[in-house]
Structure 1
């Protein structure tokens, strides 16, 4: 069994970098966008470099949900520190890690109120103030592959709906950011859904928490920074959080013995595509030149590819480390997945019927799930469930 006495790896609290110098050479948008990894960009002047906005500069203080020192935060910080050059000096992003300026669940309010200008957070944190937020990222037994979410946002209109929703919150939605599936780390073995009955487990709230509550779990809402101490003290038995690499970096292997996953067909039952997003204060967005407004969307799309690739590369290195530490990976069964699906579907409609915006976005999900190339639901699955709007 692994050593329980060690503390999580030291995290550099001073790792927040300042924006690059305004004197940085302008970068070619086309060259930059050729590489999903955001490699070096050619120094070719952009057509709006002489604008007043470029001379004055627009500073965006942007807080991430990633804790400092993690692969996620390092990738975010690296991208943020390149934006000034890539926008020819018009925009600079000052990155902050989780909790540095606003609490994990207050980031959107901070952006709307001008305490921050931007956010890079887990969209699952929306539900308390915007029910449609549960459909901005993965929910139990919904769209289960990254490309399916790209289809929903693109082919089935989700991007435009997200734009509308964010503007109601005083923000401009710049795009979704692919991350990973989520894992459940547990102090006790959970070998079937029955074992969740009475389990004290951290969940991110909303439809995810309600689905686990429906199978008997006792859920609690905690920010990521509080998961390790809660597991260590035994105030919770298990916790959902991010993927293999980041959770290893946060030391979860020191306080839990098991990782719980779905069956091979569905490795994650509850948040298979845990999306983040990047949004900025609407007034700040309107100060940008039209060319830079377009470019910011493209930079976020490219960042999503870089972020996903970095997380997956780190995961490949992390999985063997869990085995070395004696952590057992438990896969639930196909029967468990079927039971969880039956528990989840009524809650899809419950949340979609909370308001017209939630229903509108969920319709885009349903169309995607019924696309023949996705085929996640059938008419039989949906019998007895209706949308009010």
Structure 2
């Protein structure tokens, strides 16, 4: 019996050694523009914990928050060239490379909810369409996480589309400036960090910054006593995009873990954004901030201006293809009826 017990222990040790030898590891350096204490930063941290835990430690991540390695707009290139492995920001930062990135970063005037937008990616063939674009630049699109519609902040009432006439506001660069010019507004492109001071000094009347909850946490409504909610004009898609050579070199089960965890992150990001915005709206109303829920007619005016701008901005074959893909899917789900 002693011999059999010793033999069994030895066999178990050999089996364990074999398992260890077969274990594969993936070490990733990932940067996000979000701060760790923000809503999105906390959800990103949960994603990292998920992939490390589900892989039993085979995947390890060195995570960089608040764009601490390179600037936000440089994250994509840093991953493509090997300074980082993955970019956890968003495609809209890359419109200078190809305007097609606008239509995977912030479609504007298209989808009403994060769930519709994610449906294009995961069910409507969007991932395949977008993947061709990312692969051109040596990157692999792993997935999206969409927090929801952003809110406008203003020192003047913004009750409807007519109130946009001569309204000076902070805008990000790109297609948004063209859309709001059609509505009579005066978009001023400036850095995110300059918004508070520009509102305080009257350089701008309002701002397109972020979702209602984030705008509140930034203190914008201490100055700007008017807001749009629920939002309708902008719903950025943050992405996880990894260096394609790194991605292709990962074991299949590691790639699958990350893809599945991204779908969990997408759900968590959407529902936590919904809850945070609803709570912020209640608190802001109690503080005397005027919140405007635009009518269907006024929302339609914005959508018409946005959709008229899509072909103007789609100046490359890749951008044209993505716009066509979105329009086809939006018609399929009844958001566009013409």
TM-score range, shorter chain: 0.7 to 0.9
Equivalent positions of 1:1-389 (< 5 A) are 50-51=21-22, 53-54=24-25, 57-58=26-27, 60-261=28-229, 267-271=230-234, 273-352=235-314, 354-371=315-332, 374-379=333-338
What TM-score results when the alignment is normalised by the length of structure 1?
A: 0.75
- Structure number having the greater helix percentage: 2
Counterpart-to-counterpart distance in 1, 2:35 and 2:219: 12
Cα 1:80/1:338, change in 2 over 3 Å: same
Computed over aligned residues only, the root mean square deviation of the Cα atoms, in angstroms, reads 2.4
Counterpart-to-counterpart distance in 1, 2:145 and 2:63: 16
Could you give the per-residue CA deviations for residues 128-168 of structure 1, whole angstroms, max 9, x where no partner exists?
Answer: 22211121144332122233223322333111112221111
- Long gaps (5+) in structure 2: 1-15
CA contact (8 A) 1:131 1:355 kept: yes
CA contact (8 A) 1:202 1:222 kept: yes
Q: Match of 1:366, SS?
A: helix
Q: Match of 2:24, SS?
A: helix
CA contact (8 A) 2:145 2:238 kept: yes
Cα 1:375/1:221, change in 2 over 3 Å: same
Could you give the per-residue CA deviations for residues 312-361 of structure 1, whole angstroms, max 9, x where no partner exists?
Answer: 23223222221232211023344433332332222112223x11111111
Counterpart-to-counterpart distance in 2, 1:230 and 1:317: 27
Q: Match of 2:158, SS?
A: coil
CA contact (8 A) 1:245 1:314 kept: yes
Cα 1:61/1:220, change in 2 over 3 Å: farther
CA contact (8 A) 1:49 1:90 kept: no
Q: Which moved more, 1:111-120 or 1:170-179?
A: 111-120
Greater Rg, structure 1 or structure 2? 2
2:5 match: none
CA contact (8 A) 1:63 1:96 kept: yes
Cα 1:53/1:221, change in 2 over 3 Å: farther
Q: Which moved more, 1:152-161 or 1:310-319?
A: 310-319
What TM-score results when the alignment is normalised by the length of structure 2?
A: 0.86
CA contact (8 A) 1:48 1:291 kept: no
Counterpart-to-counterpart distance in 2, 1:88 and 1:49: 12
Counterpart-to-counterpart distance in 2, 1:69 and 1:100: 15
CA contact (8 A) 1:125 1:205 kept: no
1:35 match: none
Counterpart-to-counterpart distance in 2, 1:301 and 1:339: 33
Q: Match of 2:141, SS?
A: strand
Q: Which moved more, 1:87-96 or 1:300-309?
A: 87-96
Q: Match of 2:73, SS?
A: coil
Deviation of 1:50 after TM superposition, in Å, equals 4.8
- Long gaps (5+) in structure 1: 1-44, 262-266, 380-389
CA contact (8 A) 2:151 2:232 kept: no
